[in-house]
Amino acid sequence: MTYSVSAFMEQVAQRSPGEPEFHQAVQEVVESIQPILDAYPDIRDNSVMERMVEPERVIMFRVPWVDDAGKIQVNRGFRVEMNSAIGPYKGGLRFHPTVNLGILKFLGFEQIFKNALTTLPLGGGKGGSDFDPKGKSDNEVMRFCQSFMNELWRHIGDRTDVPAGDIGVGSREIGFLFGQYKKLANQFSGVLTGKGHGWGGSLIRPEATGYGTIYFAEEMLKAKDDSIYKKSCLVSGSGNVAQYAVENINRIGGKAVTLSDSGGYIYDKDGIDDEKLAWVKDLKNVRRGRIRDYAERFGVDYFEGKRPWAVEADCAFPCATQNELSLQDAKRLVSNNVILVAEGANMPTVPDGVRLFQDEGTLFGPGKAANAGGVATSGLEMSQNAGHAVWDRNTVDKKLRNIMVDIHKSCYQAAEAHGTPGNYVAGANIAGFLKVAEAMLAQGVV
């Protein structure tokens, strides 16, 4: 009997009401793996998919902290430990006002398959808070991070659950979180990744997600005898992932022409070269300013409240947040003959947009494959920590590149093997799912 995707989704919606992003992420995976559930009765009959959508553990907690005016503020903290079949829970922490349980379940669910694709022994998890670091002083951010860790520390560990950064959690926040963990646990361990280079961090970890997305896109183009070289590229966001996507586009000889933040986007037709990018890094990571300042500094146009998808270009890299590329945006990209879309962010393209790209033959690299370089390099940081080793830049960059080449290969081959050639969404979902499903079957009903 054919596995019923709609019956399964009805059950998910009933058990987890009010979590639309989670439903969206699950729907995409279950649609892709339906043929697997039909072909492998063992997986279907042992309710593997039913178990995968239920987090192994959810921790929710109060995070009280004192602001600079002496007032007590209260936020909510979360850690969703989604799946540990192939390794300790691994996934970032997001600090953003939109964070809630449903958003973190969607991100944790995606993380299961992404981590499986990296070839490293990493389970899936995600966490964070509805705290907004924007507009807060460094001291406020520190007090918040310390309070957050006062609860989280007892649930994590280098062999249990290893968080990292995500939106709103960069090197400053990881530093404060690690300092507090160390104080409470009385232990210097690789419990967080994305640490500073002088205290257990890996070289290339800050660059890894953005670099990896471009390496993945380069592999997709290579399969078509093409390259990013001399291609114009749209990039959204201007945080960690976007900055290093631009840097790698520049290294390959392409031209990035846009960046954005939640206020709007800038269009620089001459390209965001390394000098301009250095200015952006200082603006975003040190001065914590807005992207509109780029327009003033370099004399280009700024489009308030808009996203960059109507600009003519060859490739597009959404690197900001979920559902930032609508069906309308996808139509514009297709009518502008964009040849490739690769997701630096998690689930930035709405499902109808993904379908349109696939129908129109636009190369489409889904986030769980294209942005897996970040968590892969976190895995490399864990290996270095466990072996008390420090690898040089070149070594880590080469390993990252090889991992992205391997991820591309397994998505490509899984798509071919299951009758959907060129469909990287199906390829990524099937390859990631099979690895975790086999481990779950071997480990019994847990």
Interacting residue with ligand NDP among 150, 238, 248, 384 (CB under 6 A) = 238
CB of 49 or CB of 55, closer to ligand NDP: 55
Q: Least Å distance between CB 317 and ligand NDP?
A: 11
CA angle 254, 113, 399 (to 5 degrees): 50
Strand blocks (E) in 289-406: 301-304, 315-317, 340-342, 363-365
Q: Least Å distance between CB 347 and ligand NDP?
A: 8
Residues 130-149 that bind ligand NDP (CB under 6 A): none
Interacting residue with ligand NDP among 207, 219, 261, 329 (CB under 6 A) = 261
Interacting residue with ligand NDP among 112, 117, 142, 167 (CB under 6 A) = 167
Q: Is the dihedral of CA 323, 326, 331, 333 positive or negative?
A: negative
- For position 345 contacting ligand NDP by CB under 6 A, the verdict is yes
Residues 362-421 that bind ligand NDP (CB under 6 A): 371, 374
CA-based nearest residue to 333, from 305, 307, 303 = 307
DSSP 157: B
- The answer to whether 109 and 91 are in contact (CB under 8 A) is no
CB of 77 or CB of 133, closer to ligand NDP: 133
CA-based nearest residue to 232, from 341, 313, 300 = 313
Q: In what order do the strands lie in the sheet with 363-365?
A: 255-256, 232-235, 315-317, 340-342, 363-365
- For position 209 contacting ligand NDP by CB under 6 A, the verdict is yes
Crossing angle of helices 240-252 and 205-222, in 10° steps, is: 50
Total of residues contacting ligand NDP (CB under 6 A): 25
Tell me the residue nearest to ligand NDP as measured from the CB. 239
b/e per residue, 335-349, with b = 16+ CB within 10 A? eeebbbbbbbbbbbb
Q: Least Å distance between CB 226 and ligand NDP?
A: 25
b/e per residue, 398-432, with b = 16+ CB within 10 A? ebbbebbeebbebbbebbeebebebbbbbbbbbbb
State yes or no: is 105 an active-site residue. Answer: no
CB of 108 or CB of 344, closer to ligand NDP: 344
Q: Which stretch binds ligand NDP (CB under 6 A): 115-123, 137-145, 174-182, 316-324?
A: 316-324
Q: Least Å distance between CB 303 and ligand NDP?
A: 13
Bridge-based pairing state of the strands 89-95 and 57-66: unpaired
CB of 49 or CB of 319, closer to ligand NDP: 319
- For position 320 contacting ligand NDP by CB under 6 A, the verdict is yes
- The answer to whether 34 and 5 are in contact (CB under 8 A) is yes
- The answer to whether 30 and 44 are in contact (CB under 8 A) is no
90, 114, 126, 368: which is the annotated catalytic residue?
Answer: 126
- For position 239 contacting ligand NDP by CB under 6 A, the verdict is yes
Q: Which stretch binds ligand NDP (CB under 6 A): 47-55, 340-348, 393-401, 431-439?
A: 340-348
- For position 30 contacting ligand NDP by CB under 6 A, the verdict is no
What SS3 class is residue 79?
strand
Catalytic residues: 126
In the complex, which residues of this chain contact ligand NDP (CB under 6 A)? Answer: 92, 165-168, 170, 209, 237-242, 261-263, 319-321, 324, 344-346, 371, 374
